[in-house]
Amino acid sequence: MTPHTPHDPRSTELVVLDMAGTTVADGGLVERAFDAAARALGVEPGSPDHEAKLRHVRATMGESKISVFRHLFGDEASARRANTAFEEAYRELIDGGLVTPLPGARDTIETLRAAGLTTALTTGFARATQDAILHALGWQDLASLTLCPEDAGRGRPYPDMVLTALLRTGATDRVQRIAVAGDTSYDMLSGRRAGAAVVAGVLTGAHDAAQLEAAGATHVLGSVAELPALLGVV
């Protein structure tokens, strides 16, 4: 086999994939769960305060949810109350069957693993919510590893989850052989800060091509189903 340069996408050994918006379709459940969190903190739906907070939620898709609520509600106790209400509401929506795989997502992960690449699924949700999503989809053993912010120390836009995936799997000895894929600017920032050579934005979620490129995307794909071809796995 012809050797690849460290920055050739085909030299990738570890693939770190976001969940909601990238591999999982949640049908706007984040915003619906946010409404429950806002009500728990006395924010009236339809009020200017609610609209301002919702704009921040949309702008920070991909960030650790507890970090979002710390920004929105200030003190730690209020942030944790909001986060608890959010996670409970989201899990109820999951139980209602409203979370589905995005087209080609499962096949993508299986194709990457069959080709010898290590895969990790990451999220900005808490572990209990991530596990509920994985259970609802039957994805408990699909990826090599699953991570949430509490596993790594900090969530996106920090590089912690990407680097934790590297440390836990030992998949490669070079950050340049990591590929990150996600649907938000925060996914792109996290990947770039971790040193990943491939930071692929997908257009199935929160942010458009211009936002993804502005945040450092090295590639913009229609969906995660295009990732294996980018990485030379066919």
Q: Is the pLDDT of residue 4 over 60?
A: no
Over residues 36-48, the pLDDT tens digits come to 888 888 888 888 9
Q: Is the pLDDT of residue 170 over 60?
A: yes
User: Is pLDDT larger for residue 227 or for residue 58?
Assistant: 227
CATH number of 9-26+100-230: 3.40.50.1000
Domain boundaries, the chain: 9-26+100-230, 29-95
DSSP assignment of 199-215 equals EEEETTSS--HHHHHHT
Q: Tell me how far apart the 2 most distant CA atoms of the chain are, in Å.
A: 62
Mean pLDDT of 2-19: 74
Over residues 181-199, the pLDDT tens digits come to 999 999 999 999 999 999 9
Q: Is the pLDDT of residue 228 over 60?
A: yes
Token pair recorded at residue 83: 């986060």
Question: 46: burial class by Cβ within 10 Å (0-12, 13-18, 19+)?
Answer: exposed
Calculate the average pLDDT of the chain: 89
What pLDDT is attached to residue 1? Answer: 29
What pLDDT is attached to residue 7? Answer: 63
Token pair recorded at residue 170: 């030992």
Give 80-87 contacts, CB < 8 A, sequence gap 24+: 81/40, 81/41, 82/37, 82/38, 82/40, 82/41, 83/37, 83/126, 84/40, 85/36, 85/37, 85/39, 85/40, 85/41, 86/33, 86/34, 86/36, 86/37, 87/33, 87/125, 87/126, 87/128, 87/129
Q: How far is CA 76 from the centre of its chain?
A: 24
